[in-house]
Structure formats: C-alpha cells, structure tokens
Chain A
Amino acid sequence: SQQGEEDPQALSIQEGENATMNCSYKTSINNLQWYRQNSGRGLVHLILIRSNEREKHSGRLRVTLDTSKKSSSLLITASRAADTASYFCATAPRETSGSRLTFGEGTQLTVNP
C-alpha cells in the first residue's frame, strides 16, 4: 500500500500563481523527498527535507514538514507553464535512512499560459 497520500490529485492554475501540494504519511521517517515527473519521463529529484528540519527552500520551491502531523507541503511560487508535471512525495523510513523510498500517488499540476 502507498505510504503517502497526496492532495489534491489534480491542480490547474494560471501562470504566475502559486501552487501548493500536500502529502501525508503514516510511519516515522528519516527524510521526505519531492520529485517531479514530466509526461512519459523519469522522476527528477526536487528537494529533500530531513525529519529534524521544518522548512527548506530551493529557488521557487518551499517545502515544509510537520512530523507531529506526519505531513508535508510543497509550494511552487510564480508558476510557469514549464512546471506542468506530476509531483510525488516520497518517504524514507527511519530505520533505512535514504533507501526504500515509498511514493505517494502524486499531484498532477497543470499551469496554463
């Protein structure tokens, strides 16, 4: 079964708007990662946040982690048409550190020009 549940399943916004995606998980984690997948392509790593971190930034990306609620959010600011893709959260369980990633079902983001 999938550890992560992502919300929403699909999101459609206009260029320039912000996009927020949420991820919930069930077990204790070492870290949580976000990946992007363009249609028909492999996954590309976006950002990793460790269990002892609460917020992390990378360019237009902002990730938060609340381990008490077992949830994370990914914010993409000033979205562009090129951000159109599926976004997945993945958790690494505490006992195996960086291995054995468990993926959520993803959020399909469409950014309209």
Chain B
Amino acid sequence: NAGVTQTPKFQVLKTGQSMTLQCAQDMNHEYMSWYRQDPGMGLRLIHYSVGAGITDQGEVPNGYNVSRSTTEDFPLRLLSAAPSQTSVYFCASTPHPMTGTEAFFGQGTRLTVV
C-alpha cells in the first residue's frame, strides 16, 4: 500500500493564480482532511470529509475549496492564491471517524505564493 500520496511536493504560484493540490489514499479510509502548517506552528485544519460526497469546514477554510467524489481522492483547490497561503499542506486519512484511531499523513506539499 502506498498510504497517503500528495502531489506535487513543491509548487510556486503567483498571486491570483489557482491550483489544485492532489491527495489520494489506498487504504479505503472514510475520513480525510487537509491541514496547513506554518513555520514553528502546529497543524491547522482547513477542510475535512467524513465520506464520499460529504465535506465540511475546519478552522481555516477561507480561500480553499474541497470535494470528495470518491473514497480515495480529496483534492484541495486554491481559488486565487495569496502570499498568506504560503505554507506546507498536509493531507491525512483515518479509517473511521467514530472509532478514534490514528491519522495517516502524506509527505506534504510545500507551497510558495509570490
């Protein structure tokens, strides 16, 4: 199993550009989420999904959209990139949201907005 795969690993955007960060998991996990990590800080939840077709906002959702058309994929879209969105983005999945188990993280996407 590959686990949680994020692409790309690095990306540089100009202010105002849009892009999609990809996240895929092959563990048939129901719950997936996106976090951002800023220097010297912990992770903050952007959006999450408890299953295909169901998404909800986390702590810092502004400027980001998500969709969950399949169990495997959970892309994060930046609508109009801003320098404040420069960060490292992590996708995570959890087997079942109600059983309280560990989260599996991807390796991250380092995004710079200039």
Residues of A within 8 A of B (CB): 2, 4, 30-31, 33, 35, 40-45, 48, 50, 88, 90, 92, 96-106
What is the 8 Å Cβ interface bit string for chain B, positions 19-59, against chain A (1 contact, 0 not)?
00000000000010101000011111100101000000011
Indicate if the CB atoms of B98 and A97 lie closer than 8 Å: yes
Indicate if the CB atoms of A45 and B103 lie closer than 8 Å: yes
Indicate if the CB atoms of B42 and A98 lie closer than 8 Å: no
Report the count of interface residues on B (CB-CB < 8 A): 30
Give min CB distance, A6 to chain B, whole Å: 8
Q: Which one of A31, A99, A103, A106 contacts B48 once the chains associate, using CB atoms below 8 Å?
A: A99
Q: Which one of B40, B59, B94, B106 contacts A98 once the chains associate, using CB atoms below 8 Å?
A: B94
Indicate if the CB atoms of B43 and A103 lie closer than 8 Å: yes
What is the 8 Å Cβ interface bit string for chain B, positions 74-114, against chain A (1 contact, 0 not)?
00000000000000001010101111111111111000000
A98 with B99: in contact, given A42-B108, A43-B90, A45-B104 (CB under 8 Å)? yes
Indicate if the CB atoms of B58 and A50 lie closer than 8 Å: no
